[in-house]
Amino acid sequence: MGVMERRDWLLRELERELHDLCQPLTSLQCQLELGQMCGDQAALLAAVEGGLLETARMFRSIGEMRDRLALADKDL
């Protein structure tokens, strides 16, 4: 695979990964808004716990993108 093909592949992969990153981000936003609307201690605690899980998912995705970019930087 040539340089341009690898670059195009990398961009397509990053675009897909960024699209996939929207799911946990949307979920995080919804959980925080629900916790805010309900306002009681249990709802806020559930929002924080759910938010932490979604944040972990986002960090995993971001880590994979960073790794992919680092490998691509060596190849290009």
CA 58 to chain centroid, in Å, comes to 3
Residue-range domain boundaries for the chain: 42-76
Q: What is the DSSP track for the chain?
A: --HHHHHHHHHHHHHHHHHHHHHHHHHHHHHHHHHHHH-SHHHHHHHHHHHHHHHHHHHHHHHHHHHHHHHHHHH-
Its sign, for the CA torsion 8, 10, 14, 17, is: positive
The tens digit of pLDDT for each residue in 31-61 reads: 889 888 888 999 899 999 999 999 999 999 9
CA 60 to chain centroid, in Å, comes to 7
Flag whether the pTM goes above 0.75: no
pLDDT for res 76: 62
How much is the average pLDDT of 16-42?
A: 90
Q: What rounded mean pLDDT belongs to the chain? A: 88
